[in-house]
Amino acid sequence: MDLLFLLLAAVVLLKGLAGGLHSLSYRRYLDRELSRTPPAWMPPASVIVPCKETDFELQENMEAILDQEFEDYEVIFVTATESDPSLVVLRGAARKFPGRRIKFVVSGFSNQRGEKVHNLLRSLDRVDSGSQVLVFADSDGRPHRHWLRDLLSPLRDPEIGASTGYRWFFPRSGNLAGLLRATWNGSVATLLGEHRHNFAWGGSMAIRRSTFAAVDVPAHWQHSVSDDYSLTEALHSAGLRIHYQPRCLVASHGDCTWRELLEWSTRQVIITKVYSRGLWRMAHLSEWPFVLFWWWAVGELLASALGVGGAIRIGWLQGAPLLLLLGTVWLLGAVRGLFRWRMIRRIRPEQRESLKRDFWGYLLLGPLTATLTACNLAVSLFTSTILWRGVRYEMASSREVRVVRE
């Protein structure tokens, strides 16, 4: 048992140091991306936004998409039914921009694919014939005014298959569940960078229309639940790169309950298991050693404080030395949390007040964030079924899904 604990400690310390080096590398990438002005390239574009029900501050989110500083683009709002509650809000937002080209599409339902993917497929028929770029956004995201210009800029390079941003959650009231969702999500955001393993994120991604057809994205979507992972697979299979544009991190506002947090985070991990098995395996190797070490060490300290014998028999690794070891591990994680906090404050300066309020969470919640991820991973070992906006999806593989409507 002593040897196992020492092995876990060594792995966790090495992982912490590697994470610190990754943060430095990521910062250099961020500095390069943010220091240069993206070249102006604004071909005609179509922005497709699938909607269902009323997300938090939906109207403000949609007005941000309709109010882009971009010369020639249309916005296509697509819902499954004509009675979807979001339509009232969407039409209200549209009336504020009489000069913008706006279309409304009702997609209906499909038993062969995810509802969001079906919405996207049905909306393709309504794309303007002159559009050269397809852009995809989510209804719970609020981009800045230059988002569309920044997102399309990398596509000038013909070797880039798609351009992507990501999301960042900003809790409205700073409740613990909402802040934990932000830290959980933030750790995923920093996986993107200057390498060939980027994945597209469906709430902020753009692709040339010619590339979309050449790699046959619609075929990859036919029996899929995940629009972004399937598009990523299509591009990687064709040998095309996905460029991560940090300027295009979109804000997602609002709080969540503990139940919503668990459902949402577990769904993300299960989808990753089905569509990116390598990334899912890497998450197991990354999170389990830390969680096992952390709670084992905490348990040993509690046992020592209560005068109860623990499992560790190495005298020099008890009491103050063990506390020092645990503190070192926490400090390495806190440094990464501080880096993420500084990164997003730089990218989204308008969120300074929210970030200032939630500063403590980025420093202190690392162990709890890792524990949540481990719980998600444990659940994903036993199921490939998710519940997403009232619809149950039983995924046998990335190209085989059973849709169950409740």
Alpha-carbon gap, residue 323 to 329, rounded angstroms: 10
pLDDT of residue 301: 85
Residues 325 and 245 in one domain: no
Residues 206 and 225 in one domain: yes
Domain span at 332: 2-25+279-405
* DSSP conformational letter for 142: B
Residue 338 tokens, joined: 């501080």
pTM over 0.85: yes
pLDDT of residue 32: 86
Residues 181 and 303 in one domain: no
Residues 148 and 93 in one domain: yes
Alpha-carbon gap, residue 236 to 222, rounded angstroms: 18
Residues 313 and 380 in one domain: yes
Residue 384 tokens, joined: 């490939």
pLDDT of residue 345: 92
Residues 250 and 336 in one domain: no
User: In this structure, is residue 154 part of a structural domain?
Assistant: yes
Residues 385 and 286 in one domain: yes
Residue 44 tokens, joined: 């005609």
User: In this structure, is residue 263 part of a structural domain?
Assistant: no
pLDDT of residue 322: 85
Residues 210 and 285 in one domain: no
Residues 247 and 284 in one domain: no
Q: Which residues of the chain have pLDDT under 50?
A: none
Structural domain count, the chain: 2
User: In this structure, is residue 267 part of a structural domain?
Assistant: no
Cβ-contact 165, 189 below 8 angstroms: no
